[in-house]
Amino acid sequence: MLLQDVLLLDSSMEKAQPCDLVLSGPVIDSILPPRSSSLPAEFDGKGSVAVLPGFVNAHSHAAMTLLRGLGEEAPLMEWLQEKIWPVEARLRPEHVYWGTMLALLEMLSGGITCFADMYFFMDQAAEAARQSGMRCALCRGLVGSDEKKLEEGVALVRRFHEPLGMIHVQLGPHAIYTVPPEAFREISMTARDLGVGIHTHWLETEWEAGYIREELGKDPVDLLFEVGLSEVPHAILAHGVWFPEDRLEPLAGGNMAVAHNPNSNLKLGSGIAPVPSFLEKGIRVALGTDGAASNNRLDIWDEMRTCCLLHKGFRRNPCTVRAAEVLRMATLDGARALGFEDVGLLKPGWQADLALVNLDKPHYVGATPENLCASLVYSGSSADVEGTLAGGKWLFRKGRYETLDERAIIHQARICRKELLEG
Ligand code: NI
């Protein structure tokens, strides 16, 4: 398949590269000078379409699209205990299926090709992901020290985990304040033995940091190692807002990645993660949206822009958290965090997970190959995405979904929401 006369940009490039991009099945075959390929063009960018690696949403609870708008502007624990958990107690498998589908519509339209998801009834999420053609890393959220839930998590691994395929499964201890340390360690050791990753929440709130120090009597960085998170193939630490900045060295260069969710952290008043320090210390940072009940968008463009602006303003330093760094977080480092080794760069042999961006718009006048990365991050938005491909297949093209029935999904999601709210 030939994508003709497009501008390639990934986080390893200093500037965008005009080219013909040739795909072969699920992977990138070759990158040729523009209009030099003799293949028939499947798509002609006419020099004004950027091709980026598909975006990776490294922390989400996809089916929470059904809970969007519940309990706005409430403190986190009150929001969870009074608004979210009572509704979640009524969830049935079909709710998770349609809620996930609703999330996939939104993510695909913004160029997201891969997502990490923690929730319940994850066989339903896996089915939705498979039908959509998206890449993902799924886990059943585990709370308490319930062996039966861990068995469900393991069963999900056995049923859906494809190390070289589109679906990865991880184990998902919800957080250290909902899973006792001994049970957490058992989950990590199970993941290690299965050869799968861990996805958890870590240090989202100041309250949680206090709980770790006062109730558990631990240092929050030492505790990561005590519960076995350094021993699994890869671990996603969602949020990481309250990491002590003088204790970051042990996290660098290893298997752990922080999934930074700037909009959720701002909306829930959780605080501002020390992202400039993570980057200085060489800690892998990915970007996530969190669930639609706490954001409320599933839009990585919005996270990229907020991430760049927030840390510049907070540190009073316009040079920190640069556009090129945030593009890497949203693509390559997200894919690595989810355990995908050949996703996130535009290179021959790498997976053809792509976001196509229409640059023929007013806000891109003045964009050049040299400044394209900053143009996209600061001037662009998800509304500019004109195509999304994963594994070499079109999933979204010019406003239409190739694998999903948009009208049917919205209709079913409305029914599910009504059922959940009315009990
Ligand atoms: Ni979360």
Q: What is the pLDDT of residues 201-238, one digit of tens each?
A: 999 999 999 999 999 999 999 999 999 999 999 999 99
Ligand 1 centroid to Cα of residue 198, in Å, is 14
Ligand 1 centroid to Cα of residue 295, in Å, is 10
Dihedral of CA 25/31/37/40: which sign? positive
Ligand 1 centroid to Cα of residue 116, in Å, is 10
Q: What is the pLDDT of residue 78?
A: 87
Ligand 1 centroid to Cα of residue 70, in Å, is 15
Ligand 1 centroid to Cα of residue 290, in Å, is 5
Q: What is the pLDDT of residue 74?
A: 86
Ligand 1 centroid to Cα of residue 46, in Å, is 40
Q: Is the pLDDT of residue 416 over 80?
A: yes
Q: How confident is the model at residue 146 (pLDDT cuts 50, 70, 90)?
A: confident
CA angle in degrees (0–180, nearest 5) for 417-421-423? 115
Ligand 1 centroid to Cα of residue 291, in Å, is 6
Show the DSSP H helices in 161-205 as ranges: 181-194
Q: What is the pLDDT of residue 51?
A: 98
What's the pLDDT tens digit per position in 261-310? 999 999 999 999 999 999 999 999 999 999 999 999 999 999 999 999 99
Ligand 1 centroid to Cα of residue 379, in Å, is 28
Ligand 1 centroid to Cα of residue 376, in Å, is 27
Ligand 1 centroid to Cα of residue 114, in Å, is 16
Q: What is the pLDDT of residue 79?
A: 85
- Cα-Cα-Cα-Cα torsion 423, 115, 353, 375, nearest 10 degrees, comes to 100
Q: How confident is the model at residue 321 (pLDDT cuts 50, 70, 90)?
A: very high
Ligand 1 centroid to Cα of residue 238, in Å, is 7
HSE value, Cβ hemisphere, 13 Å, CA-based, for 222 = 6
Ligand 1 centroid to Cα of residue 242, in Å, is 15
Q: How confident is the model at residue 380 (pLDDT cuts 50, 70, 90)?
A: very high
Q: How far apart are CA 277 and CA 285, in angstroms?
A: 11
Reference 173, options 222, 232, 118, 219; nearest CA is 118
Please name the residue that has the structure tokens 């959780």: 270
Ligand 1 centroid to Cα of residue 289, in Å, is 9
CA angle in degrees (0–180, nearest 5) for 394-58-324? 80
Q: What is the pLDDT of residue 342?
A: 98
Ligand 1 centroid to Cα of residue 326, in Å, is 20
What's the pLDDT tens digit per position in 111-140? 999 999 999 999 999 999 999 999 999 999
Q: How far apart are CA 287 and CA 307, in angstroms?
A: 9
The CA-atom distances, in angstroms, between 172 and each of 104, 197, 205, 259 are 20, 9, 19, 14
Strand blocks (E) in 92-228: 112-119, 135-142, 167-169, 172-173, 198-202
Ligand 1 centroid to Cα of residue 247, in Å, is 23
Both tokens assigned to 51: 């091709």
Contact 340, 168 (CB under 8 A): yes
Ligand 1 centroid to Cα of residue 240, in Å, is 11
Q: Is the pLDDT of residue 423 over 80?
A: no
Within a 10 A sphere around the Cβ of 276, how many other Cβ atoms? 18
Ligand 1 centroid to Cα of residue 42, in Å, is 39
Q: What is the pLDDT of residue 279?
A: 98
Contact 99, 413 (CB under 8 A): yes
Mean pLDDT score across all residues of the chain: 97
Q: What is the pLDDT of residue 75?
A: 82
Ligand 1 centroid to Cα of residue 347, in Å, is 32
Contact 337, 257 (CB under 8 A): yes
Reference 205, options 320, 67, 80, 310; nearest CA is 80
Show the DSSP H helices in 110-176 as ranges: 122-132, 147-160
In DSSP notation, 327-361 reads HHHHTHHHHHHTT-SS-SS--TTSB--EEEEE--S
What's the pLDDT tens digit per position in 27-43? 999 999 999 999 999 99
| Preceding amide of 296 cis, omega within 30 | yes
Greatest alpha-carbon pair distance for the chain in Å reads: 67
Percent pLDDT > 70 in the chain is 100
Reference 44, options 78, 74, 69, 20; nearest CA is 20
pTM value is 0.98
Q: Is the pLDDT of residue 71 over 90?
A: no
Ligand 1 centroid to Cα of residue 87, in Å, is 16
